[in-house]
Amino acid sequence: MPVPKSEFDDLRPLAFRDPSEVLDPDEMYTVYEIARLFQGLDPGTDVDPETEAILLDWTIPWMVYHADAFVFAEPASDADPGLYGLAVDGGGAETDSE
């Protein structure tokens, strides 16, 4: 059920951090690790499935919104998740050039 705003003493603007503030530019991460980092947790933190689902609910739209800031790598096998990292310039995919 909706809750009246008047019941809260502290209402803050919704603000998301830039991917470069969350990720190390030299690392690649699973979406699960990014979800933890996005919330200020260590990427190896153990969380219950319900919490993980909530973390992913916030992280996936954030990643889509900032898609130009990410690169991805295919998983080592079909059983492994893909890996994501920051694009070299933070604003587009890395490319090989001669």
Q: pTM for the complete prediction?
A: 0.78
pLDDT of 98 over the 50 cut: no
CA–CA dist 61, 38 (Å, integer) = 12
Q: How confident is the model over 32-52, as pLDDT tens digits?
A: 999 999 889 999 999 999 999
Angle between helices 31-38 and 49-65 (to 10 degrees): 90
State the pLDDT confidence band at 7, using cuts at 50, 70 and 90.
Answer: very high
State the pLDDT confidence band at 95, using cuts at 50, 70 and 90.
Answer: very low
Dihedral, 63, 29, 92, 73 alpha carbons, nearest 10: -110
